[in-house]
Chains A and B, each alone.
Chain A
Amino acid sequence: MDFSVLTSEFVSLTFDGIVVGAIYALVALGYTLVYGVLRLINFAHSEIFMIGTMTCYGVTLLLNIAADTDPLSPQVFIIVFTLIIVTAAVASGLAAVTLEFVAYRRLRVMRASRLSSLISAIGASFFLTELFRLLTDSKNIAFPRLIDKEPVLVISSAYITLDKILVLLGASVLFIVLNRLINHTKLGLGIRAVSQDENTAVLMGVNVNRVVSMTFLVGGVLAGAGSAFYMAFYETTKANVGFLVGVSAFTAAVLGGIGNVKGALVGSFALGLIQQYSSAVLGYNWRDVVTFIILVLVLLVKPTGLLGEALQRARV
């Protein structure tokens, strides 16, 4: 156990943890929305994210941006990146809606057990991962450096670079938009109604099928946007990138209280920080062990996560 790194690099680790947390948040929101509405762990959500990353790469190919290109000028970057985010969000959103229709809809209509949907989700996850492995010829994808990574600001040990600021800004904007959607639109009302009590929602005239599709769409769009930030930050992807990111994001959602949108955000930042700090003290290879132990401890004290499930849910 080595606390020296933690103390000397504390600000840097904290900042990096928040940035990583922001990316997890965008994926975690997808898990938590779907869970809130369907009580389903959408195992294939990680592949929705992966599809987003592949789409980002595809856009750079279409725009003929070479992998070793110099960073773009700010104006060009904004245009290009907006294009990438939008395309990835659309692609992921559509993929998510299709996924729901193909893998889960029938099971939901038949009121099958949740485990059946879980296995269907896992099958879909296998299918999508393998599909993209074949499409990418099992290779790692290198994403061009679109934005310069020279630090623009240095606070103690932390190097603040433009891509990190981009991630934080982007995640914040998306979260604010999502909040508006959930709390101030008709669709959001429908989502909250269905997650509270599906039967009553139907009785009140809510088109559940449409709400479910829209929930998947929103989750997919968020994951797609998250994938664009992921690519700008890490500059690499491969067919099974979804797995590691997915497990972390899902853990974050549970940590914060699954089904709870604010919880997904809190859980994600908490997880990002836990991961960074534990890596510094015990080494990266013990990171996941520490994460799960902390998760167990949190759940022992607060059985429904840090922020609990959405207010309406009294029982699982």
Chain B
Amino acid sequence: MKLLSFNLRDKFGDWWDSSSLLQRTIFRVVLIGIFFALPLINNPIIDTPETSFESVLFYPLIMFAIMAVGLNVVVGKSGILDLGYVAFFAIGAYTQAMFGIYTDLSFWIVLLLGMGFAMIAGVILGIPALRLRGDYLAIITLGFGEIVRIVAVNTEAIGGASGLSDIPPPPNINFLEFSVQETRSYYWLSLVLFLVLILGIVRLGNRKPGRAWEAIREDEDVASFMGVATFKYKLWAFVIGGAIGGMAGVIYASQVLSIQPELFTLNLSIMILACVVFGGMGNIWGVIFGAVLLGYLPEKLRFLSDIRILIFGLLMVVMMNIRPNGLIPRKKREKISEKLK
């Protein structure tokens, strides 16, 4: 039973609070260094037996991590149940595909465009959907995800069922080459953007938007009553979440070089949601951990072959029952009464 109540976050949190700035900086540097070094490590313990670890690092690991952070803004921080997150990912990917194949625009501009289109989609979805509550909102977001996919299948102009091929990779940055063989360059690019992203999200979380989101998540009616512009902030959550998903999509399309609508299924939305819930909703480190776990485990468990998906489903049930708040749940705000004691 003690194992079940072991709380990583608290133990780590205690150490973090008591450490000095130098210790924290060293910790951060070492941690980031390890993540950068991952593609170069060839260690049988962490290696995935049947899949290329380097490829797995890019997809699903860091792609899931980025998307989980994005969905966390929507679901974890703001409490909006989004079952169609894959739509933003798809929009980003198709932007890169269409603009990459048919125009000469630089990769970086297309990246911004992809995020932009995803943000617009977030607004289009958000305006009707966010007026609804809870599970009604969920089904609308699910529908949105499916609509994006079905439109992609039915529209020949953007490839139809066969999708789009010959998407250009990003241009070389100094010595860093982006080829389909060397996924590490994509991984590093994503990692850099990811770190910038985390920085931004954490900053936002500590400021007014973050507090507003938390208020909305805890009790939307009270928040509204207290003067929080709930609709505006919920829409912002959607838009930011969308932008992040779009960013991931652009990078992904530039790596895989061909996309098809069948890559962007409801299943993927559910996987990202599972990462967020598993890891610990609202807690950015938790969801990153959840994404890594859910992306890594199926590859590591390939030796189970036939029953792999079976075990995976079972694990989800067991994990949620043992740790319903996720592996690294968010810090619960201390009750005022406890503080007064």
Contacts and interface: CB of A to CB of B under 8 A. Distances in A.
Contact of B150 (A112, A122, A285, A299): A285
Given A120-B320, A295-B140, A115 B154 contact: no
B143 A107 contact: no
B139 A119 contact: no
B143 A295 contact: yes
Contacts of B128: 296, 299-300
B262 interface: no
Interface in B265-323: 270, 273-274, 277-278, 281, 306-307, 309-310, 312-317, 319-321
Interface in A88-142: 102-103, 106-107, 110, 112-113, 115-120, 122-131, 134
A278 interface: no
Q: How large is the interface on A (under 10, 10 to 19, 20 to 34, 35 or more residues)?
A: 35 or more
A131 to B, nearest CB: 6
Contacts of B56: none
A134 B140 contact: no
Contacts of B189: none
A41 B315 CA distance: 19
Given A123-B316, A303-B131, A292 B309 contact: no
B243 interface: no
Given A103-B317, A285-B154, A296-B128, A116 B277 contact: yes
B134 to A, nearest CB: 4
A110 B310 CA distance: 26
B270 A289 contact: no
Contacts of A123: 274, 312-317, 319-320
Given A107-B321, A119-B277, A299-B136, A289 B312 contact: no
B325 interface: yes
Contacts of B31: none
Contacts of B138: 41
A289 B151 contact: yes
A60 B134 CA distance: 42
B325 A103 contact: no
A307 B102 CA distance: 49
B30 interface: no
B135 interface: yes
A174 B312 CA distance: 36
B230 to A, nearest CB: 14
Given A120-B317, A130-B309, A250-B139, A115 B144 contact: no
B331 interface: no
Task: Choose among B147, B151, B321 the residue with the greatest number of A CB atoms under 10 Å from its CB.
Answer: B321
Contact of A120 (B131, B221, B306, B321): B321
A300 B137 CA distance: 11
B312 A126 contact: yes
Nearest to A126: B313
A251 B221 CA distance: 26
A116 B320 CA distance: 6
B74 to A, nearest CB: 12
Nearest to A283: B154
Contacts of B131: 300, 303
Given A303-B132, A303-B133, A119 B273 contact: yes
B321 A103 contact: yes
A258 interface: yes
Interface in A259-297: 285-286, 288-289, 291-293, 295-296
Nearest to A41: B135
Contacts of A113: 281, 324-325
Contacts of A130: 307, 309-310, 313
Contact of A115 (B75, B140, B143): B75
15 contacts: A102-B317, A116-B277, A119-B278, A123-B312, A124-B317, A129-B313, A130-B313, A254-B139, A286-B150, A292-B140, A292-B146, A295-B140, A296-B129, A316-B133, A316-B136
Of all A-B residue pairs in the complex, the 10 with the closest CB atoms, nearest first, are: A123-B316, A126-B313, A292-B143, A127-B313, A112-B324, A116-B324, A120-B320, A316-B133, A123-B317, A316-B134
